Structure 1
Amino acid sequence: MSLGFTILISGMAVGQLRTITGTVTENNKPIQNVSVFEEGSTAIAVTNSSGSYQLKVSGDNPVIIFRHPEYGEKRVFIQNKTVVPVSLEPPTKSIGEVILNAGYYKVKDKERTGSIAKISAKDIENQPVTNVLSTAQGRMAGVSITQNSGVPGGGFDIQIRGKNSLRREGNEPLYIVDGVPLSSETSSLFAVTILPWSSMSPLNSINPDDIESFEVLKDADATAIYGSRGANGVILVTTKKGKKGKTEFKLGTSYSLSTVANRLKMMNTEQYLDMRRQAYQNDGISSIPASDYDLITWDEFRYTDWQKTLIGNTADASSVQLSLSGGSENLSYLLSYGHQEQATVFPADFRYTTNNLTGNFTFRSPDKRIEVNMNNTFSFQKNNVQNDDLTKKSLQLSPNAPALYDSSGNLNWENDTFNNPLALLNSEYLNSTVMINNGTNISYRLFPFLSLKLNGGITYQDFEEQSLKPHTIYNPAFGLTSAYSSSSQNNQTVFSYLLEPQISTDFGWKDHRFNVLIGTTLQQSETKQGSIQGIGFESNALIRNIGAAATKIVSDQIRSQYYYTAAFTRLNYQYKKRYILNITGRRDGSSRFGPDNRFGNFGAVGTAWIISEEPWMKKLSWLSLAKLRGSIGTTGNDKIGDYQYLNTYSVTTGIYNGTVGLSPSRLYNPDFSWEKTIKREAALELGMLKNRLNVSAAYYQNTSSNQLVGIPLPATTGFPTIQSNLNARVQNTGWEFEVSARPFKSTQFKYETSFNLSIPRSKLLEFPNLEGSTYANQYMIGYPTSLVKVYQFEGVDPATGLYRFKDFNADGKISSPDDNKVIEKMGVQFFGGWSNNFHYKGWSASFLFQFVKQRNWNYNRSMLIPGSMNNQPVEVLDAWSPSNPSGTYMQYSAGTNAQKNTLHSYFQNSTAAIGDASFIRLKNVQLSYSIPVKNLGIREAMIYFQGQNLLTITRYFGIDPEFLSVGYLPPLKTYSVGFQLSF
């Protein structure tokens, strides 16, 4: 009887199984890769290229769920139907459905109390760049990003709501990739002549094609949970993850060409030689020295455009991206590989090569209680370029200088009269970087309202660089051999690990909602660095092997450790889904301070009032969202380097009586502690017309105190400064405005536009005994810390033809610091961007304008005295003469007159060397077309064209108004074509 009953029940169950079929569409067009499954069942069907599916279900009235990442989820009660067609609609893009990464937690944009800016993969993919920071320029309010060099593999200067610290390194933001912090910019020992500040961005190791989102945390509420590490803002990079569905293989490749975006118009040979002859005439010299080869020896009819010759090459670049992704309800994965190569615009075969391998894995238990995320990035970078940037030489070489090569194809030295600039290409600067970043996040839902989490990761970076300077970079007339060749090598490894156990709870009661997060952080990093120099080789063929050098100089072999620990908590409370309170607290400990000052307390309070959720506001049908929010909090800063509070010693290079000595390099001061910043913000956000128009405005105020600087000491101490806290206060304030709109959104044509504007202001509030300190000529109370004091230029004296400057102390002479009293407020006055996106059927297009209003140094700052053996911009033709009494420049001088040389140095440090550096730049253009290939078994095929830095509108006197590092290659103009295939 039992066996018969079992067979009967089983038969009834089998009898209830039935097959349903159908087609999933959008506007009568099939949708592929839609997951179809019965609620409570693990069996999943996926729609094919025709949108069709087939699924076995059980029960009398089962619920079928349809899911696709680009559409809203749909639930259907099928009752006794066997054919179930379904139409899906894209989800409404409302502010409340945008999810932002806030680091330790995620938050809906509608419910956030802090200031978070975000760009998505769609914005990143539109730009032919190798560093994601380039894609963020002009797209984020309050975030100023400047590329330091047009040489591949360089760094970026990024300021999030201004500079809080008086030190450059004290203003670096915190970089977090998939929950794991990266080290700050890699600092080179040898690259200073090719890369400004020798800086290399840590995000060079992250392939932009692997990035899902890029978020910047700006205010106290958003950054306080990171404590001291987030004092200057936090940059969060989230890489792409695998998605549920069939296995997908993607192939993408592109090829691009880059050139210098802007050039100065220089004098031609006739203008140049006329300037040179006038210079000697003005100096009263009738006999031109034999060493002035441009006037005596070189061909006076020869002309070379040195900008075109030395920095005018077209740099090609190529990239290949492969990825494999897929997954089920419980497991998803993504593997990607990217290879990129970039050449330079210099006349040599230098190349920057990167290889990136990324693997992301996610596991969820069937009961959804356990989730494991593993993110792994492996980056291999190699860069080689010459040791010296040729940009400055391209502007200064005489236009009638000889040919670069002789008739035999060798470097031409023109009978020892010409220093051939291409000889510098015989030197090399090489670096290679291996970076491994692993992040693992494990969560376990202990109860429906309580979860345990563990966030951990390791970062390993091995950086090696070499500077090769063979004797062939010098004129052969010097008679040098490989005994004068030198090779320098530096190695630096950084290993760090992170452990962050956390507990979080989320529960509600009637109109109340609570979310609590408690956690701790333990981070340790170890840096090892050592360098060696070799001088003198039997042959330059051995120059890469320092062991073959006749003389070897070994520098300090440094090993430093950094320990960081913290405990943090966050309480988020919501009442009736419209009153929100967010409280964050953190206690940090850093090994960079003395034993009595290692711990600091930081925290923030953020609030938000969603006014549009009030019953009396819901009557306004045109209003989708109205929200007021504000925050106040404190953060710290310990970015001063390791062991700064200790007595430290360096190994001397000299040897006395066979013994290597030690020399003191730093004084002991265990009393200094954290720099501290108080951040305040208030903001209003509005969404109108079903969020087709969104507007936000924010005002912020950051006040930094306890500045960590070098306090000057008397020379008799043997040390110029001692590291200490200075009771100076710096304040950054500003307004940020953002507007986004979707005026058109039909099934075939879509148009989206956004605009952002930032108006930053900065000033020094307090600086004890400023006038009596060595900083008196650098800062001034009530003015920005970026100010400069210069001479007041008053034109050319018609009686002498020489420059005139205002004599402030009326002593009859011009001198510093008595007469350089004019205060110029350097830097940005406002900046922003305007982006537009168009979609029509299979076509899409976008463009981005970036704009900056600013004052800064112009070309007069670096200009050599007009009339010397150096070419000049055509603007210098406007020199004073009796026939041109309104001329800007004084009479030309060959550089032999001491008085004129002194006046020219004053001119370089006067109001004449500062001007309007504002610009409007067509930052990015993209045009793409999706080829209809689904009938060929290909999911997606797209071809595209992209452009970067295509047009700059400016009145700036110089090469590039944004890039102000004199003598270095500015960012390049790039055209790129490519295609993507998905199978």
Structure 2
Amino acid sequence: MMYLWCLAGLCLAPYAQAQQPSTVVTGRVTDAVTGEPLAGATVAVKGSAGSTQTDANGAFQLSQIAENAILLASFVGYDPEEVPVAGRAEVPIALEPQSVLDEVVVVGYGTQQRKDLTGAVTSVSASQLEKQPVASMDMLLQGKAAGVQISQSSGAPGGRTSIRVRGASSVNAGNEPLLVIDGIPMYNSSKDPGGTSYGTFSATNALASINPNDIQSVEVLKDASATAIYGSRGSNGVLIITTKRGKTGNAQVNYNGYYGWQQPHSRLDLMNGQEHADFLNDWAEASDLPKPFDNPQSIGQGTDWQDLIFRQAGMTDHQVSVSGGTENTRYFISGNYFNQDGIVINSGMERYALRLNVDQQINKRLKFIQSLTFNRTINRSVPIANAGADNVRSAGERAYTASPTAPLFDENGDYTVNWYGISKPESPVNSLLTTRNRLEGDNLLGNLGLEYTIAEGLTAKSTVGVNLMNRANEEFYPAATTYIGGLFDGLGILASRRITNVLNENVVTYRTELADRHRLEATGGFTWQTETSRSSSTQPTGFPNDLLGNNAIGGTTGTPAIASDLTDWSIASFLARVNYQFNDRLLATATIRADGSSKFAKGNQWGYFPSMALGYRLSEEEFIKNTGIWDDLKIRGSYGVTGNQEIGNYQSLARLVTNLLYIFDNQLVNGARQSSLANQALTWEKSDQWDVGVDMGFWNNRLRFVFDYYKKNTNDLLFTINLPAYSGYSTALYNTGQLENRGVEVELNADLFENDFTWSVQGNYAYNRAKMVSLGRSASTSLFVGHAPGVSLNYVYDGIFRNDAEIAAQSHQTGVKPGDMRYRDVNGDGVFNADDREIVGSPQPKHIFGLNNQLGYKGWSLGIFLQGELGREGNRISRLFDPSEVASNKAHELINRWSPSNPDGTLPRAGVANWLGSTYLLQDMSYVKLRNVQLAYQVPGRIAGVSSLQVYLSGQNLVTFTRDGFFGYDPDGGNGYPTASTVLLGLNIGF
């Protein structure tokens, strides 16, 4: 019924005006400061649905306009203006540029002007987001906000990413920031049902189901003052995503579409067929085995498996949106279709998305708000990580480990499935082509709310949100073409998961001004959220044949593994925040939230998370104004406590496993046993954080600078510790240990030119250091006090022994030969043993940065976006550099290995006998990436009813600069599925 009234309002509004003489009104919309025309500005008639957009010269024309009408003009980045027609046929309109300080920023449960912020908040606006068409919303943020690190674990369509805000705050609990999408809190955690018990399934990115074209802005809340309003879920930062909404005026129809070409971003430099045959001969000779190849030269280049497994792939995106409305009813409707073929054969993703956002002013006091989106995704997946003791290999590994000495087909025309040294034979190509892995997901995300103005300055808002997810996973591994399938005469799985997440929020806000110098805003509320997850799976084996796959499940002969699961959790919260301002100079914010979570034991379910922040706008003081230097100068400081509850359900309880068999009276009976110890003391992981910041603006705020220094201590870590064997259990979850993160963030924005030629620069930089302050009760052997999580204890590689003289010149390594690996005697005791291991590695980047240049000249625009990370270290692909291993190809640089015929070789010999985990594999993962380049042209004027027309060419992930010696597909992505370079040709049309 509500929508029928909305539609009626849209249709009848033009006739509701008093019958006044009407005329044609023309005019130009210009910048009030520079006088330049504003193309694409909206000019509407107050109280009517009539509106238009200005052309390239800022000109507009409206018909049948009453002489006493009032025109409403608006443009992004400018203050809206009301101009009376007053009987004129020509009405010029000049818009004042909106001050950066007056920009409205979305914060938790409300909004604030940027000048009034006391917390550390970074905003990424629609104008920035639209310059980079991407498949997933998380990639929009990469390099855009200081202190936010986004990494790809896979280049697969819909593949997982990790997001870190000011480093990782936990060891065993979640480290992803809280996402708030149109008011609904959620995490970027996989909700997919599991795959086979052999680990063949790779989870997808939950955010890939959300249409990035619908996003209006993203706010990143970083310090405790900004995030404490989210209490137990704020310790990892908060990302507030706001989607687009309608504006008053005629319906605006927009189409945005592109087609793109993808190809692997890089290739690994591997041995060719002859070189690998030579290596295998050397290995066999060192191992006292017959040489497998009599004439390596006859093999030549051999088979390039990277060429066969990777491909050039297409991707396309089409979006149609309709927006508009009257003063009382505004709407935004969009539909999206996205299709991306993967650069690995037999992979890809499709997404269908619909959105309906409605704002309805029911009467002067009551407003109805709706945000609703439905998404459907279909993933055709391939393994992106090795699983099941290498019974299933990732797509990337198949490409780089398969021997180039083996042809694609054998002499009978069949796919080659075996070569020298391989123990689990299958064709790298055919196994990918014939494996079926299809994941379907449906997601309904919606929020309905009523906002009531109780009295002047006092409003109450109540919303109900739902996040409904259905996931279905189907995998089939044929017996004839896959190794894992051959073990079980065909292996399949049918799995599903249904998730119901319900949210209710009730918030009251009061705003007042006292004596023209005091401003006060108080917010209080109660929220409640619950989630129920149901899943089931069956894993059949022993298929009669491979033809029908899982459709022949009724004819299987193996005993299927059947599982089902039901879990739920809930959280209730009380929140309060007070913002106070004195004379536009002194700013204060106080926040507290109380959360009660079902994830902890009774008596420990409630946690309390306060924060306090102060700010001083020095730029409002006369002694600062008189300097003529600063347009804005604000210092701010904050301290607060936030929490983390992201652990599995029922961790505080003693849990049972029920799939056990026991023998009683010579018969098998079902039974159960306790699988974990109860921990009634389990409670919140808490992070206390303080932040000191400075905001500055120069040259009429054309140059803006933000600096923050922070320190975050996470106490009572939710830590999995080892238990003594006599307890009967191996591990348990406890609150113990302490982790520290501290760092610096810098943001710089500059509008260098603002006339016909425009040039703006946005840059950001962050430095973060993490270290374990205490392990508490944990006896972890992979974490070390004073070092960051992720470092390793390893031997230090010190080159090779080239000859007997070098061996004789040292005494700590015994039983070695020329060509063997040399390790450092770290403690200098003359004995080489485990005491000579060192803590090595730098798992987190020391510096992350982004630099975005936007240039324009009349209708042309050019965007160039660079992003990088420095100081991170990681391991090279072990198999490709391990000369003792024989079942895979090798890195090309191993042709410079030591051998009797190459005594000057600098790398270990084939068949080396003293291979140990060491810094031999450690490499610098630093990079600077040309993340995006986009050239666009805005066609001037109107063409056959088209109000705006833009064409653009965009290139993504084009070039990556790394340190010498880096080996891998991409330092920013995994090796299981390489990242792609993409070129897009797009079109944006407005009607």
Report the TM-score when normalising by structure 2. Answer: 0.89
- Mean Cα displacement is larger for which, 448-457 or 188-197? 188-197
What's the secondary structure of 2:836's corresponding residue? coil
Structure 2 Cα separation of the partners of residues 14 and 790 of structure 1: 84
CA distance in 2, matches of 1:729, 1:141: 25
Aligned-partner SS, 2:139: helix
1:92 offset after TM fit, Å? 2.3
Q: Which position in structure 2 is the counterpart of 1:530?
A: 536
Q: Equivalents in 2 of 1:360, 1:686: separation in Å?
A: 36
Q: 1:450 aligns with which of 458, 474, 488?
A: 458
Give the % identical residues: 26
Paired letter, 1:794: D
> Which letter maps to 1:181?
P
CA distance in 2, matches of 1:198, 1:745: 48
- Change in Cα spacing, 1:432 to 1:286, as seen in structure 2 (3 Å) is closer
Aligned counterpart for 1:629 among listed residues 628, 632, 636: 636
Deviation at 1:326? Answer: 1.3
Structure 1 position 17, deviation (Å): 7.2
Please name the residue that 1:385 is paired with: 381
1:764/1:466 CA distance change after superposition, 3 Å: same
Residue in structure 2 matched with residue 344 of structure 1 by the alignment: 342
- Distance in 1 (CA, whole Å) between partners of 2:627 and 2:554 is 79
2:469 partner amino acid: Q
Alignment of 1:738 onto 2:738: no
In structure 1, the residue matched to 2:500 is 495
Relative distance call for 1:814 and 1:964 in structure 2 (3 A) is farther
1:333 equivalenced with 2:336 (yes/no): no
Determine helix, strand or coil for the equivalent of 2:282.
Answer: helix
Which amino acid counterpart does residue 706 of structure 1 have in structure 2?
D
1:421 equivalent in alignment to 2:428: yes
Corresponding residue of 2:7: none
Which moves more between the two structures, 858-867 or 783-792?
858-867
SS at match of 2:129: helix
Counterparts of 2:685 and 2:289 in 1: how far apart (Å)? 62
Q: Distance in 2 between matches of 1:174 and 1:196?
A: 29
Q: Which residue of 2 aligns with 1:161?
A: 166
- State yes or no: 1:972 paired with 2:969: no
Structure 1 position 588 matched with structure 2 position 595: yes
Pairing 1:805–2:790 present: no
Map of 1:308 onto structure 2: 307
**Paired AA for residue 507 in structure 2:** Q
- Contact preservation (8 Å) 1:298, 1:400: no
- Which amino acid is 1:356 matched to? A
Could you say if the C-alpha distance between residues 191 and 753 of structure 1 is closer, same or farther in structure 2, counting changes exceeding 3 Å? farther
Q: How far 1:440 moved relative to its partner? A: 2.0
**Which of 838, 852, 855 is matched with 2:872 structurally?**
855
State the alpha-carbon separation in 2 of the partners of residues 696 and 481 from structure 1. Answer: 60
Residue in structure 2 matched with residue 4 of structure 1 by the alignment: none
1:649-696 deviation per Cα after TM superposition (whole angstroms, max 9, x unaligned): 122264753532223222111111100100110011110001111111
Q: 1:706 aligns with which of 712, 716, 720?
A: 716
Check whether the contact 2:880–2:891 (CA below 8 A) recurs between aligned residues. no
- Quote the residue 2:775 is aligned against: 767
CA shift digits 1:523-563 (9 cap, x unpaired)? 11111122211111223334223344223434442111101
Q: Offset of 1:413 from its aligned partner?
A: 4.4
Question: CA 1:323 to 1:65, structure 2 compared with 1: closer, same or farther past 3 Å?
Answer: closer
Matched, 1:403 2:408: yes
Q: In the TM superposition, what is the alpha-carbon distance from 1:302 to its structure 2 partner?
A: 5.2
CA contact under 8 A between 2:506 and 2:526: conserved in structure 1?
yes
Q: Secondary structure at the match of 1:484?
A: coil
User: Could you say if the C-alpha distance between residues 121 and 195 of structure 1 is closer, same or farther in structure 2, counting changes exceeding 3 Å?
Assistant: farther
Higher mean alpha-carbon deviation, 353-362 vs 656-665, is at 656-665
**Higher mean displacement: 92-101 or 503-512:** 92-101
Task: Tell me by how many angstroms 1:93 deviates.
Answer: 4.7
CA displacement at 1:191 relative to structure 2? 5.9
Distance 2:67 2:61 in 1: 20
Describe the shift of the 1:282–1:96 C-alpha distance in structure 2 as closer, same or farther (beyond 3 A): same
Distance 1:691 1:194, change over 3 A: farther
Per-residue deviation, residues 720-763 of structure 1 (Å, max 9, x unmatched): 0122111x1111000011111111100x2211111111111111
SS in 1 for 2:303: coil
Q: Which runs of 5+ in 2 are unaligned?
A: 1-16, 384-392, 805-816
Q: Which moved more, 1:375-384 or 1:188-197?
A: 188-197
- Alpha-carbon distance change, 756 to 538 in structure 1, aligned in 2, over 3 angstroms: same
* 1:518 paired to 2:535: no
Choose 429-438 or 716-725, whichever is displaced more. Answer: 716-725
- Contact kept? 2:538, 2:560, Cα under 8 Å: yes
Contact 2:970 2:979 in 1 (8 A): no
What is the alpha-carbon distance in structure 2 between the residues aligned to residue 795 and residue 685 of structure 1?
Answer: 51
* Counterpart AA for 1:618: K
Structure 2 match to 1:357: 354
- Correspondences of 1:880-891 after superposition (within 5 Å): 880-881=898-899, 887-891=905-909
Whichever residue aligns with residue 871 of structure 1, its letter is N
Q: Tell me which amino acid in the other structure corresponds to 1:466.
A: E
Secondary structure in 1 aligned to 2:307? helix
Q: How far apart, CA to CA, are the structure 1 residues paired with 2:690 and 2:417?
A: 63
Question: Hey, what's the Cα distance between the residues in 1 that align with 2:970 and 2:367?
Answer: 49
CA distance in 2, matches of 1:633, 1:489: 46
| C-alpha distance in structure 1 between counterparts of 2:635 and 2:245, whole Å | 34
SS at structure 2 position matched to 1:281: helix
* CA distance in structure 1 between the partners assigned to 2:598 and 2:906 by the alignment: 56
Aligned 8 A contact 1:790 1:911 in 2? yes
Are residues 938 and 865 of structure 1, via their aligned partners in 2, closer, same or farther at CA, if it must alter by over 3 Å?
A: same
Corresponding residue for residue 798 of structure 2: 794
Structure 1's 295 and 32: CA in aligned 2 closer, same or farther, altered over 3 A?
A: same
**Cα distance, 1:821–1:192 mapped onto 2, change above 3 Å:** farther
Partner of 1:116: 121
1:25-424 aligned within 5 A? 25-26=29-30, 34-37=42-45, 51-53=60-62, 66-68=73-75, 71-76=78-83, 82-89=88-95, 91-167=96-172, 169-186=173-190, 188=192, 198-283=202-287, 285=288, 287-288=290-291, 292=292, 300-301=299-300, 303-311=302-310, 313-348=311-346, 350-365=347-362, 367=364, 369-387=365-383, 388-404=393-409, 408=413, 410-413=414-417, 419-424=426-431
Q: Distance in 2 between matches of 1:77 and 1:124?
A: 35
Match 1:696 to one of 701, 706, 712: 706
Does structure 2 retain, via aligned residues, the 8 Å contact 1:155–1:185? no
Match of 1:839?
A: 856
- State the one-letter code of the partner of 1:744: F
Is the Cα–Cα contact under 8 Å of residues 753 and 760 in structure 2 kept in the other structure?
Answer: yes
Matched, 1:541 2:547: yes
Is residue 794–residue 839 contact of structure 2 (8 Å, CA) maintained in 1?
yes
The CA deviation at 1:154 is 1.4
Once the 2 structures are TM-superposed, how far is the Cα of residue 64 of structure 1 from its aligned partner? 6.0
Partner Cα separation in structure 2 for residue 276 and residue 405 of structure 1: 20
Equivalent position to 1:870, from 888, 896, 905: 888
673-682 or 102-111, larger mean C-alpha shift: 102-111
Give 1:124 deviation, angstroms. Answer: 2.4
Letter in 2 for 1:382: I
Match of 1:959 among 968, 975, 978: 968
SS of corresponding position for 2:431 = helix
8 Å CA contact 1:530–1:557 kept in 2: the answer is yes
Contact kept, 8 Å, 2:308 with 2:429, in 1: the verdict is: no
Q: Cα deviations across residues 476-503 of structure 1 (Å, max 9, x unaligned)? A: xx9x989711211221111111111111
Alpha carbons 1:795, 1:804 under 8 Å: kept: yes
Worse-matched range after superposition: 454-463 or 933-942: 933-942
Matched, 1:643 2:650: yes
Alpha carbons of 1:78 and 1:345: their partners in 2 closer, same or farther (altered >3 Å)? Answer: closer
1:473 match: secondary structure: coil
Counterparts of 1:496 and 1:815 in 2: how far apart (Å)?
54
Query: What is the aligned residue count?
Result: 934
TM-score (norm 1): 0.89
The alpha-carbon distance between structure 1 residues 66 and 276, as it changes in their structure 2 partners (threshold 3 A), is closer
